Structure 1
Amino acid sequence: MSSDGEKVRTSGEVSRPEPVLPTVNPAADKSEPPKAALHPAFYVSTWIALSSSVILFNKHILDYAQFRYPIFLTTWHLLFATIMTQLLARTTTLLDGRKTVKMTGRVYLRAIVPIGLFFSLSLICGNVTYLYLSVAFIQMLKATTPVAVLLATWGLGMAPVNLKVLLNVSAIVVGVIIASFGEIKFVFIGFLFQIGGIIFEAVRLVMVQRLLSSSEFKMDPLVSLYYFAPVCAVMNGITALFLEIPRMTMGDIYNVGLLTLLANAMVAFMLNVSVVFLIGKTSSLVMTLCGVLKDILLVAASMAIWHTPVSGLQFFGYSIALGGLVYYKLGGEKIKEYTGQVHRSWAEYGNTNPGQRRLVIIGAVVIGFFLFAGALAPSYAPDSVDRVRGALGGATAGRF
């Protein structure tokens, strides 16, 4: 009897509503609006701007500003990168990826140092090239880098020889050869330095690929710079100590400007930082197309800033090389797929914004015409070109 009463009383107690303290803050339980993220176009444009700025900046310092010490300049870039990566590793999370890398003294000597050697050689050759060749022609020659990487992959036994793939990249080689025949200011020693830089860079990339094939050594570009910059700075510094520093004076540095050299190193380092964000926010397709767009913009910038003569034959050859590069990177099926997507997007854009699409087409035609006319002008109207340059006050020769 008593137990029944307890049951009734208990059930009655449960049924009575009593105030209960909340276990979760209602305000905090509401989902916060997502933080505004930057559009991928921001990272793309930043990378293109920084990459182009480094190349144009180096050309300006080494050639037009008459600072004829490319090895010293490379050493300064690497020393600055070493200092900055050490600071970032201690003050930010950008380099936390290094904590997952099982780096030992043995691995550093057997892997990092040899890769650093080829990295140094590629940087030295690349900077020396600016003393002899135009930025436009250098970018055209760089289109052969995928071919060199492919051959280095076969040569180092990373992949079997594939004649079909070799045929696919042959268009790149043919296009660059045509562009080389069309180069007006061809300097053979500069050509050899650039080819050497491409070969060293290809071997470095294949060695890095072999190192990163193990999950223990996955590194983003900034972490790679953290490990490679110190050894490369030492190697380049020793080289510069024997080849350039004995004939350098403080007057050479003051002539360029300490702030200019500091800004140059900062832009070069920011380029490495931008690559990390670009890889994380975009795809390999975007990277490939951005590289092609950057090369085209650099050719145009070289023509606009320093009036670099580019012949029609060079345009023709470089177009073939770029087409072959895109085909090699993406493949025929992917190109058809993406072309269809672009065509549909372009049609939809035309239906919704017919006036803007018309302006885009007109602008592209006008820009293409002026680029083509600028390329042919030195050959069919050299006197007129000289008069225009004189009216512009020598444009930007020797300074930005």
Structure 2
Amino acid sequence: MPFSEKLVSINIANPKSDVKGQYITRHENTIKNLSYIMMWYFFSTSLSLYNKNLMGRDRFNFNFPLLVSSIHAGLHFMITSIMMWFGGNRWNSGLSSSMSIYDYLFKVVPCGVAAAVEICCSNASLVYITLSFYTMVKSSTPIWVLIFSFLFGFEKPKFLLISIILIMVAGVILTVEGETKFDTLGFSLVLVASIVSGLRWSMTQLLLQHERLGIDNPIATLYYLSPIMFITMLTLSLILEHPLEQFQHSKHFDTISHVVESLGLMSIGGFLAFAMTLAELYLIKNTNTITLSVAGISKEIVIITLSVLIYGDVLTPKNLLGLFVSIVGIIAYNYYKLSKQADTEKGQYQMIPLHASSSGFTPSRNLED
């Protein structure tokens, strides 16, 4: 049989075009990541300013921080419900349908209660203390994260970790000593919020270790925890704030227009908090935890600067020294976490404590490809 020749074409990649394509891709990723950082900055800073303006005694003086927090949790449940129902497998793995009552009561509920207490204490503290002081004290969260990590067995006590804790403790002490408008109740509330944040971190780590529960992403986590947070916060509000009685004498609810205005103002924070959570999620997905950590430190500095410019907060030399020492401790802590993370399996959950956020938390998975 005659031999038939076939013309075979071979495409040889142009090295220059590959380099150009890689440059364009890196450029696009950089722009995308900067956009996520800016959105996170905007929503997080806006939320902090919103909380202070809404609940500050010398501002709008809406003295119902627990009620406001419960409304935010209710909004989060509504939004995540829609995302879970209509998002397909992206947010809903379907595994949660096999969750037992025991798992729900003893694994999910404690996390929701702890998150509710943290948020309530954070928001309530802003009634009594300045935003800058709140931000500096809340930056002590990694101290309690490490302490509870020791207690839960996630970390083994080491000289390096204990040294990091002592550095951050020294920073907090200097911050407190240098505060010119110190309020015992406000300080106690934000300190409790920081402690509970560390406890909640460890409890959520335990929760996320059980993949069979189906709580395998931040949206699913908020979906299951937000109703618990709503019930806890609303119960605390009814017991401690007596909103139904206070509404009768409050200028915020004396007319229909004021009622609508107050409900609208309370709802704004819920959407800000949720938008901040999504921005943080996508930032982690497209970068890594150290990017968020560095961005978080600079965000705290931005919030403190805005507090000075907008509210006239006074920072003493001790305040600034305490802030500097705390930042050194936080950087050392995140460097340690980054070094440890490099040795862990890709795709493992990595918790990011949100030092200055009073909106909630984001148990985040390291989603790097």
Q: SS of the residue aligned with 2:94?
A: helix
Shift of the alpha carbon at 1:260? 2.4
Quote the residue 1:44 is aligned against: 37
Deviation, 1:222, is 2.0
Match of 1:136 in 2: 132
Q: Give distance in 2, aligned partners of 1:116 and 1:333.
A: 27
Match of 2:200 in 1: 204
TM-score (norm 1): 0.71
Q: CA deviation at 1:95?
A: 5.2
**Structure 1 runs (4+) greater than 4 angstroms displaced:** 14-17, 33-38, 331-334
Contact 2:84 2:220 in 1 (8 A): no
* Residue pairs, 1:172-183, within 5 angstroms: 172-183=168-179
Cα pair 2:290 2:338 within 8 Å, conserved:
no
Checking the alignment, whether the CA contact within 8 Å between 1:122 and 1:198 is kept in structure 2 is yes
Instruction: Name 2:60's counterpart in structure 1.
Output: 65
Q: Which runs of 5+ in 2 are unaligned?
A: 7-20, 340-369
Deviation at 1:317, TM superposition (A): 1.3
**Aligned partners of 1:94 and 1:122: how far apart in 2?**
31
- Rg bigger for which structure? 1
Number of residue pairs matched?
308
For the 8 Å contact 2:83–2:91, the answer to whether it is kept is no
The structural deviation recorded for 1:98 is 4.2
Q: Deviations over 1:305-352 (max 9, x none)?
A: 111111122111111110111012104997xxxxxxxxxxxxxxxxxx
User: Offset of 1:94 from its aligned partner?
Assistant: 8.3
Aligned partner letter, 1:294: K
Question: What's the offset of the Cα at 1:106?
Answer: 2.4
Match of 1:88 in 2: 83
Q: Hey, what does 2:47 align to over in structure 1?
A: 54
Match in the other structure for 2:245: 247
2:247 maps to a residue whose letter is T
Amino acid in structure 2 at the alignment position of 1:249: F
With normalisation by structure 2, the TM-score equals 0.77
Per-residue Cα deviation, 1:187-242 (whole angstroms, up to 9, x for no partner): 01111111111111111110111222244356222221111001110111122122
Give the alignment of 1:157-196 within 5 angstroms: 157-196=153-192
Q: Would you tell me which structure has more helix in proportion to its own residues?
A: 1
Partner of 1:23: none
The equivalences for 1:359-374 within 5 A come to none
Q: CA deviation at 1:100?
A: 4.7
2 CA distance for matches of 1:273 and 1:16?
A: 58
Q: What's the offset of the Cα at 1:155? A: 2.5
Structure-2 separation of matches of 1:222 and 1:181: 40
Amino acid in the other structure paired with 2:216: M
Distance (Å, rounded) in 2 between the aligned partners of 1:98 and 1:73: 31
- Of 208-217 and 315-324, more deviation after overlay is shown by 208-217
**Structure 2 counterpart of 1:323:** 328
Cα deviation for residue 273 of structure 1 reads 1.6
Q: Does 1:261 align with 2:234?
A: no
Question: What percent identity do the matched residue pairs reach?
Answer: 22
Matched, 1:109 2:102: no
| Residue 67 (structure 1) shift | 0.4
CA shift at 1:282, angstroms? 1.2
Matches of residues 290-301 of structure 1 in structure 2 within 5 Å? Answer: 290-301=295-306
SS in 2 for 1:248: helix
Partner amino acid, structure 1, of 2:282: F
Amino acid at match of 2:63: R
Mapped to 1, the partners of 2:285 and 2:95 lie a distance apart of: 18
Give unpaired runs (5+ residues) of structure 1: 1-10, 18-32, 335-400
- Post-superposition Cα deviations, 1:2-60, rounded to whole Å, max 9, x if no partner, equal xxxxxxxxx46x9599xxxxxxxxxxxxxxx9996652111111112111111111111
* CA distance in 2 between partners of 1:278 and 1:57 (Å): 23
Distance 1:199 1:100, change over 3 A: same
Tell me whether 1:79 sits opposite 2:77 in the alignment.
no
Residues 231 and 98 (structure 1 numbering): CA distance in 2 closer, same or farther, change over 3 Å?
A: farther
Query: CA RMSD, aligned part only?
Result: 2.6
